Structure 1
Amino acid sequence: MRTSVKWVTAATGAIRRAVRNAVGLLAAGFALASPLAGGAAAAPLSDPTEFEVKAAFVYNFAKFAAWPEGAFAGPRATLVLCRLGDVGFGSALSALEGKPVGERRLAVRDVMLREAGDCHLLVIGAPLESRLADVARIVKGRPILTIGDAEGFAAHGGAIGLTLDDGRVRFEVNPKALAGSGITLSSQLLRLARIVEDVP
């Protein structure tokens, strides 16, 4: 019995450390070796690119989000990550194909606007970020987490906007847009976000 208790305690500690580490990466951001960060023009190959960092953020959003009951066909159903429009970091998102999110696996798809309602995460790129009203009409009332990196994305109705701040990737959250989807984000994650409201 003592062995079992020790094993459970050790496993619980490992899980907590993993959560802290993942959230810590988001809190610290990633210094990009680019002119934005004052780095050299030619970065070492080991340095993550801006696009890779943004893809890593999207993956962590998936891990720290909770979808409402009924959003999936079953407990192991695929979590569908969609690219809509010309997503600048879309190629980096391809690396997330098959990655685990709890008991689910991620599937990365390219979709047309009319197909966006079948997604769980929707990453929106050009020229769609200028048509957020159209996107909002498609996803309204559906459990879809909208993400984009256009300037002011969250303030214009997107749930999560990725930004660059002094060469680091940060993120903004629009609580109204998030609430409309029925999706909740971890309180740990929300504490790290910049909260924004819809622009008038």
Structure 2
Amino acid sequence: MFFKTLGLLFWSTLFSYSVSAAYTPEQVKAVYLFRIANFIYWKHEPQMKSVEFCLPDSPEVKKILQSIVTNKTVRHLPLHIADSDCDILFVTKQENLHYVEAAGANTVTIGDLEQFTRYGGVIELYNEDGRIKPKINLDNIGDYSVSSNLLRIAKIEGNK
């Protein structure tokens, strides 16, 4: 119960900061990527050796995320930045939506493009009133589940 409360406190605190406040949008997105990993449960998780983040088109977020995930774990799985075999894929450019289309069912696709979830992405980080918030399309979820704690704070699309 303590960890559930702590997780909800983190999310509500994150929402209370405006993008124009002390944090850059890239910093907020990197924190979201890290935090989201804690709320994803892969069906093949017992066989996983690590959680791999791929950020093919966002060098600034990638650099920040690298500093966050160094020596960190999610449920005893070390976190790494990778170029392939992605467990979490973050896409920021329209011309790279082919990565989303090619992603396997085990890959959580996250993007900050407008209408990202309509292009097949699972989680869109969108800006509302100067704050970055998650939108989740339930119909695009693959071979993993998303914690109700994350669903509770997200805008939900789809019917799954």
TM-score bin (small chain): 0.7 to 0.9
What percent of counterpart residues are identical? 25
Q: Secondary structure at the match of 1:84?
A: coil
Instruction: Go from structure 1 to structure 2 and tell me whether the alpha carbon gap of 1:30 and 1:56 turns closer, same or farther (over 3 Å shift).
Output: farther
Residue 130 of structure 1 deviates from its aligned partner by 3.8
Is the radius of gyration larger for structure 1 or structure 2?
1
Residue 19 of structure 1 deviates from its aligned partner by 2.5
- Segments of 5+ residues of structure 1 without an aligned counterpart are 1-15, 35-42
TM-score, normalising length: structure 2: 0.84
Superposed, which structure 2 residues align to 1:106-185 within 5 Å?
Answer: 106-109=79-82, 111=83, 115=84, 118-126=85-93, 129-132=94-97, 134-140=98-104, 142-178=105-141, 181-185=142-146
Residue 131 of structure 1 deviates from its aligned partner by 4.3
Runs of at least 4 residues of structure 1 off by over 4 A?
none
Q: Larger relative CO (CA 8 A, sep 6+): 1 or 2?
A: 2
2-side partners of 1:175 and 1:84: how far apart? 24
Matched with 2:23 is 48
2-side partners of 1:137 and 1:153: how far apart? 12
1-side partners of 2:136 and 2:59: how far apart? 19
Aligned-residue CA RMSD (Å): 2.3
2:81 is aligned with what amino acid? V
Superposed, which structure 2 residues align to 1:66-77 within 5 Å?
Answer: 66-69=41-44, 73-74=47-48, 77=49
2-side partners of 1:143 and 1:161: how far apart? 17
Whether the 8 Å contact between 1:32 and 1:49 is mirrored in structure 2 is no
Residue 162 of structure 1 deviates from its aligned partner by 0.5
Superposed, which structure 2 residues align to 1:25-40 within 5 Å?
Answer: 25-28=10-13, 29-32=15-18, 34=20
1-side partners of 2:19 and 2:132: how far apart? 12
CA deviations 1:71-98 (Å, max 9, x no partner) are 5645xx1111111223552222112233
Superposed, which structure 2 residues align to 1:54-69 within 5 Å?
Answer: 54-69=29-44
- Segments of 5+ residues of structure 2 without an aligned counterpart are none
Aligned length: 157
1:83 aligns with 2:55: yes
Whether the 8 Å contact between 1:163 and 1:170 is mirrored in structure 2 is yes
